[in-house]
Structure formats: structure tokens, C-alpha cells
């Protein structure tokens, strides 16, 4: 396969940690260029990368085939639109856009130009979620009636990233960590019938929502999504309850920790959780009660990037579609509608 020449719109934490290492190690890609307004951080780590001082310069290069938009949330629509208009395939960091109207416009533009457009929902490829999905789809829990998914942190201090702590479109915990949880639920159970949300501020001096609870209503089932920046002692990240039993799983994917430590995503043990983080399955199988720790799936975000390359070069289905990214944004919009109106709102 001819490597896909790829440009990255920022070399902050997202570009440096969650994109560049994959572009570097995978033969399907060439980390070709990066937009850095004044610094040269990318070229210090990847000497062959071309540094551009503006988005216009980056997009003007005919060699660039794929652009990764990994800038602040409120810029996603604008920058993705410019890249598509320049004839580039595009990956947009989560959340896909701020509004579903923006998402629909990008989807239409990509279709008109025959370009690939994907939302980077990397947490689909985490070990913990993949394990939960395997257990849910196995049917071992029987009819599922309730699930609770947490993405908690203990971060009482405000983020040094000013754009994350400044009120405005696309800010707050629901757009940030919430978009991961929503995407996972949509993959497991599809669209909800109704949405209810509670969002508020719990940290001193914070100006953006840093606590969220979203309740999604399905026929005969409820799914609760929770996230907070003031959880020092972690609760199970996934609790799934069915007629036959329960499955509990910690949030223990090791990829982010290893990437932050500077490790490249390669080697036979990449994405392998420690055995101590195995999930607990307590159910009934064939009339026998079973309570046991279950093996964890391997987490591997390389699957996402390989899928993108296959889509561009061979016309394979995208690993995450823009339509799926847009659906996440619709749930977020419904959550804010619920908060504003203080009621349960229909999804459609």
C-alpha cells in the first residue's frame, strides 16, 4: 500500500500523543506535515515532517492527502470544511462538531466531493470497552435492563488549556469526555428514545460544566452516563446488569498512559492490560451460577488508523463514520435541551 501523506493541524497534546505516534509507526501512513504557528516541536521529534505556519499553507500542498483536524472543538467545523474544499480526506477529533447542523453540512460536502470524512472516536478501540462489548454481545447477562458508564477524574485544578476552561460553544465536560461515553453507548445499543441530563459546575473557580449525568431511555432499559472531575477513588467504569447477571469492569486501558510516557504504539504487548484489571462476571450459565474474572481484550487504536488507510486506498468502510460522529452531537444537543427545559426530551 502506498503510504497516505497526512497533515496534522496542531501539535499540542492531541497531535503529539494520539496521532503522530501512529502515523510514524504504521507503514500505511507518512507523517508529512504539521501546522505550528511559531514552534518546531514536531520536527524536533520527527525531522522529516514539514512545518507549516498557516492552515492555508498546509492545505495548498497538493501532496497532502489526509488532514487531521485536532484543534479546539469550536474550530472543527471551520477547519474541516476548508480541508474538504481543498480536496483532502479528513479526520476530525472528537467531538466531531459543535452542532449537528455543522456536522450535516460537512457530511454533505464530503459526499459531493467524493472524499472520506471520519470522526476520531479512539475510545472504541480501548481494551475496557472492547471487553464490555464482547460480554454484552455474548448474551451471557441475559436481557440487559440497566448500564452505568463512568469516565471520572480527580482534577480539582483548572486545566492550563485556556480554551477548555473558557465558556463558549463546544466547551464543558459533556463535549469532552461525554462524547466518548455517548459514542460507546450508541455502538452498543443504538439511538435512545429519550434523553435526560444534569450538568453543573463543582470545582472552585470553574466556569464550565465539570460534572455530568446523562440518562438515556431505551425500551425496557436505562443507560446512565456519569463523569466528574472530583472523583479521587475510582468506581467501576462499566456496570452492566441483566436478567441473568452482572458485569463490572474498570477503566484500565493502558494506551494513553504509554503514549504520554513517550512509548510508540508497537510491540506484542501494546494495549495489553494487567491481569489485575480483569472484569468481574457474575451470572448464570446453563443453570449454574458463575462468578469469575474474565480475560480482557487487547486495546489497539492502530485498528482505527489502518481502517482509515484501507478506506482511502481500497474503498473499505470507514472505522468510524462522520454520520456516527454527528449522532453523538445530536445526543449532546438533546442533553442540553433537557437541561434547559428541566425535563425528559424525545430523541427524535
Domains of the chain listed by start with CATH number: 4-122+303-318 (3.40.50.720), 124-299+331-346 (3.30.360.10)
- Farthest CA pair distance, the chain: 66
| Rounded average pLDDT over 32-58 | 95
* pLDDT over threshold 90, residue 14: yes
Residue 25 has pLDDT above 90, yes or no: yes
Average pLDDT over residues 14-41: 96
Question: 130-166 in b/e burial notation, b at 16+ Cβ within 10 A?
Answer: bbbbbbbeeebbeebeebbbbbbeeeeebeeeeebbe
Edge-to-edge strand order for the sheet containing 279-285?
288-294, 279-285, 246-249, 238-242, 144-150, 221-228, 211-218, 194-200, 345-346
* Nine-digit cell string for 231: 472523583
Q: Label residue 285 exposed, middle or buried (CB < 10 Å: 0-12, 13-18, 19+).
A: exposed
Handedness of CA 258, 51, 41, 76 (dihedral sign): negative
pLDDT tens digits for 128-147? 999 999 999 999 999 999 99
Cα separation, 250 vs 235, in Å, equals: 8
Q: What letter does residue 312 receive in the DSSP assignment?
A: H
Q: What is the pLDDT of residue 160?
A: 86
**Cis ω before 33 (30° cut-off from 0):** no
3-state SS assignment for residue 124: helix
| 18 confidence band (pLDDT: 50, 70, 90) | very high
Q: Residue 57: what pLDDT?
A: 97
| pLDDT score of 159 | 86
Please enumerate in sequence order all residues whose Cβ is within 8 A of that of 47, keeping only pairs 6 or more positions apart, or say none: none
Mean pLDDT of the chain: 96
pLDDT at residue 177 greater than cutoff 90: yes
Contact 116, 308 (CB under 8 A): yes
What's the pLDDT tens digit per position in 201-211?
999 999 999 99
Q: How confident is the model at residue 347 (pLDDT cuts 50, 70, 90)?
A: very high
Region of 25 please: left (phi>0), alpha (psi -120 to 50) or beta.
alpha
Compare 1 and 134 and report the one with higher pLDDT. Answer: 134
What is the pLDDT at residue 163?
79
178 in Cβ contact with 212 (< 8 Å): yes
> How many CA atoms are closer than 13 Å to the CA of 228, on its beta-carbon side?
13
pLDDT of residue 7: 98
Q: What is the pLDDT of residue 162?
A: 81
Phi/psi region, residue 318 (left: phi>0; alpha: psi -120 to 50; beta: rest), is beta
Q: Give the three cell numbers for residue 221.
A: 432499559
- pLDDT-derived band at 119, boundaries 50, 70, 90: very high
Q: State pLDDT tens for residues 84-112.
A: 999 999 999 999 999 999 999 999 999 99
For residue 10, what are the CA distances in angstroms to 17, 33, 79, 218?
11, 10, 11, 39
Q: Tell me 154's DSSP state.
A: B
The C-alpha atoms of residue 296 and residue 274 are separated, in whole angstroms, by: 9
Amino acid at each position: 500500500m502506498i503510504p497516505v501523506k497526512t497533515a496534522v493541524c496542531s501539535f499540542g497534546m492531541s497531535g503529539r500523543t494520539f496521532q503522530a505516534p501512529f502515523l510514524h509507526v504504521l507503514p500505511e501512513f507518512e507523517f508529512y506535515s504539521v501546522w505550528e504557528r511559531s514552534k518546531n516541536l514536531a520536527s524536533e521529534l520527527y525531522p522529516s515532517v514539514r512545518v507549516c505556519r498557516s492552515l492555508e499553507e498546509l492545505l495548498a500542498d497538493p501532496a497532502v492527502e489526509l488532514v487531521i483536524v485536532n484543534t479546539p472543538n469550536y474550530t472543527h467545523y471551520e477547519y474541516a470544511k476548508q480541508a474538504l474544499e481543498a480536496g483532502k480526506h479528513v479526520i476530525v477529533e472528537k467531538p466531531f462538531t459543535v452542532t449537528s447542523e455543522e456536522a450535516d453540512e460537512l457530511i454533505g460536502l464530503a459526499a459531493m466531493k467524493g472524499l472520506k470524512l471520519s470522526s476520531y472516536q479512539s475510545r472504541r478501540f480501548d481494551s475496557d470497552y472492547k471487553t464490555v462489548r464482547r460480554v454484552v454481545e455474548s448474551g451471557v447477562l441475559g436481557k440487559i435492563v440497566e448500564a452505568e458508564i463512568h469516565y471520572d477524574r480527580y482534577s480539582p485544578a483548572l486545566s492550563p488549556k485556556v480554551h477548555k476552561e473558557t465558556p463558549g460553544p463546544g466547551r464543558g465536560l459533556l463535549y469532552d469526555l461525554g462524547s466518548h461515553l455517548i459514542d460507546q453507548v450508541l455502538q452498543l445499543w443504538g439511538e435512545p428514545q429519550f434523553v435526560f441530563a444534569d450538568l453543573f459546575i463543582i470545582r472552585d473557580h470553574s466556569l464550565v460544566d465539570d460534572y455530568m449525568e446523562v440518562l438515556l431511555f431505551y425500551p425496557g432499559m436505562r443507560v446512565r452516563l456519569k463523569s466528574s472531575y472530583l472523583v479521587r477513588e475510582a468506581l467501576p467504569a462499566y456496570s452492566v446488569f441483566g436478567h441473568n447477571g452482572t458485569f463490572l469492569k474498570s477503566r484500565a486501558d493502558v494506551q494513553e498512559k504509554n503514549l504520554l510516557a513517550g512509548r510508540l504504539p508497537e510491540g506484542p504487548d501494546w494495549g495489553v492490560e494487567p491481569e489485575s484489571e480483569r472484569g468481574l462476571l457474575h451470572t448464570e450459565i446453563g443453570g449454574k451460577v458463575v462468578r469469575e474474572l474474565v480475560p480482557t481484550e487487547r486495546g489497539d487504536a492502530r485498528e482505527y488508523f489502518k481502517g482509515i488507510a484501507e478506506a482511502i486506498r481500497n474503498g473499505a468502510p470507514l472505522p468510524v463514520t462522520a454520520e456516527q460522529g454527528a449522532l453523538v452531537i445530536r445526543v449532546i444537543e438533546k442533553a442540553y435541551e433537557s437541561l434547559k427545559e428541566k425535563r425528559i426530551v424525545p430523541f427524535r
